[in-house]
Structure 1
Amino acid sequence: MIHGPSLAIGAVISAAVLVVVFLSFDVIGNEPELVIQPTPTIQPEGPAKVTMETFLANGSPMLGDSDAPVTLVEFGDYQCHFCNVFFHSTEGNILKNYVETGKVRMIFKDYNIIGPDSINASHGAHCANDQGMFWEYHDILYNNWTGENNGWASSENLLRFAQEIGLDVDKWSECMKSGVHSQIIVASNDDARALELTGTPAFFVIGPDGKVTKLFGAQPYETFERLFETELEKNS
């Protein structure tokens, strides 16, 4: 299922990196290789430049060993049906077999394409991150998913989720009211557009040599397993 972006969100990406790597889209087809270039402080006219920061900045805290040789980046929307399918059918095995064993580290980035509740849910997760509980909130969101734009991610329910995972609700609520994490959510959406994503979930696997492979949709576990093993062989 591919959703067109429903919100006009814009911001300037301002980060510089020295790493130069190549993108290859092995799963999707014969798309051209793109060179990752340093991001300028001021965005010039034309297509946004893609850098390693486009993948790694403006997202969740890294899950797993920070020195893991392979990185998995997911762009998702908490209301997205197939994001929820991935969470329940595939993510658990990835965490058990690759993240918890120190082989893969994982980051989640927001691409809010469905509706306002998607943005509010993203805010909820980032406010939970202020208390060191991003991934717990991320999980409870998907564990309570019941559809798109049907109210399950209402403000009242987001507050209930915060209570259920043991957050300091007063601090979390103040964070939500202030909108302090709006910029990181805007920037993550900009990163998704710079990568020309048209739907969620979308994944990027970054190998130990800096090669980046893109996967679309709720791919089965075996697809990730094959790709991880191919990349890990480079590190042996």
Structure 2
Amino acid sequence: MPTSTSKSTGKSTRKPAGKARPASPSTSKSRPVVIVAGVAVAAALLGLVSYTATKPQAPGGSGGSSAVAEVTADPSDGVYPELESYARRDPGDRLALGRADAPVVLIEYADFKCGYCGKFARDTEPALVKKYVDAGTLRIEWRNFPIFGEESEAAARASWAAGQQGQFWEFHKAAYAPGAKEKGFGEQRLTALAKEAGVPDLARFARDAQSAAARESVRRDQEQGYSLGATSTPSFLINGRPIAGAQPMETFQETIEAAAAAAAGKPGPGR
């Protein structure tokens, strides 16, 4: 399937042969009807809007940002509360970081073959972990959203398998290291990444990566992303606010602080 990476948008996209896959009928029926409006808005924001994030910063520090990513002083602006239910807040989720009861949840839909996902993983996410996750303000929930073919699917299953032995985030770091995606994600390469990540039982890792449970986990994550209209990576939800692309650190910082203020019933930044 043809894919492309846009230098001006901060997101990697695929060129789908048809429409994005909708959620399954069983998934749709189980959701409250109120979510429909929020999903429709998110689909428009994540699937149709043109983004200008990650432009090179101009002299004086003014960088590009998308209309979706602009954060106002109103912590409720651009937020769709019905989408907050997409956060699982499962204490046993091995593909998540941070307290299950953190006031802010950032959900990331990403692909290990996505260059901009790697940029976010290397340049922005560690700072968010240090400043907000470690402080108990933020929880990060990963969603495998492979859109670039068989190797993307294999890497997604491998990351889940690493997570079964408590090494998902170590695998995540290895898979997003500079130059890692250029080496591909064939079977031997994935085993090498698992070894680099410190996965203790590589035989179990190989079995888990091919298991029905791994395929079901990836399918569930994909289905959730497609239900939001996401066709590019990375895509995010922060307490019900859709954001697309590897936005500048400032955008995530302002959005997280606005969400934390809203959760505490306080005015947002700058008010």
TM-score normalized by the length of structure 2: 0.68
Query: % of aligned pairs identical?
Result: 26
2:246 matches 1:218: yes
Superposition deviation, residue 4 in structure 1? 2.8
Structure 1 gap ranges (5+): 37-49, 207-211
1:156 aligns with: 188
Q: Shift of residue 6 of structure 1?
A: 7.2
**Which 5+ residue runs of structure 2 have no aligned equivalent?**
1-5, 7-12, 46-66, 70-77, 267-271
- Provide the secondary structure at the position in 1 that maps to 2:96: coil
Over the aligned positions, Cα root-mean-square deviation in angstroms equals 3.4
SS at match of 1:56: coil
Distance change >3 Å, CA 120–CA 5, structure 1 → 2: farther
Name the structure 2 match of 1:172. 205
Q: Name which of 93, 96, 99 aligns with 1:62.
A: 96
CA contact (8 A) 1:6 1:115 kept: no
TM-score norm. by structure 1 comes to: 0.77
The aligned runs of 1:1-236 (5 Å cut-off) are 1=6, 2-5=13-16, 12=24, 14=27, 16=30, 23=38, 27-28=67-68, 36=82, 52-53=85-86, 55-56=87-88, 61-143=95-177, 145-147=179-181, 150-167=182-199, 168-206=201-239, 212-234=240-262, 235=264
Q: Distance in 2 between matches of 1:190 and 1:145?
A: 29
**Distance in 2 between the 1:66 and 1:33 partners?**
20
* Counterparts of 1:126 and 1:99, CA distance in 2: 21
- Which SS does the other structure have where 1:74 is aligned? strand
CA contact under 8 A between 2:89 and 2:100: conserved in structure 1? no
State the 1:231 CA deviation. Answer: 1.5
User: How many angstroms does 1:226 deviate by?
Assistant: 0.7
Distance in 2, matches of 1:11 and 1:231, equals 27
Structure 1 distance, partners of 2:183, 2:105, is 33
Say which SS state the counterpart of residue 233 (structure 2) adopts: coil
Q: Distance in 2 between matches of 1:72 and 1:83?
A: 14
1:81-131 deviations in whole A, cap 9, x for unaligned? 110111111111111101111000000101111121111111111111111
C-alpha distance 194-51 of structure 1, shift in aligned 2 (>3 A) = farther
Q: CA deviation at 1:11?
A: 6.9
CA-CA distance at 1:51 after TM superposition = 7.6
Distance 2:23 2:161 in 1: 20
**Distance verdict in 2 for CA 1:35–1:165, change over 3 Å:** closer
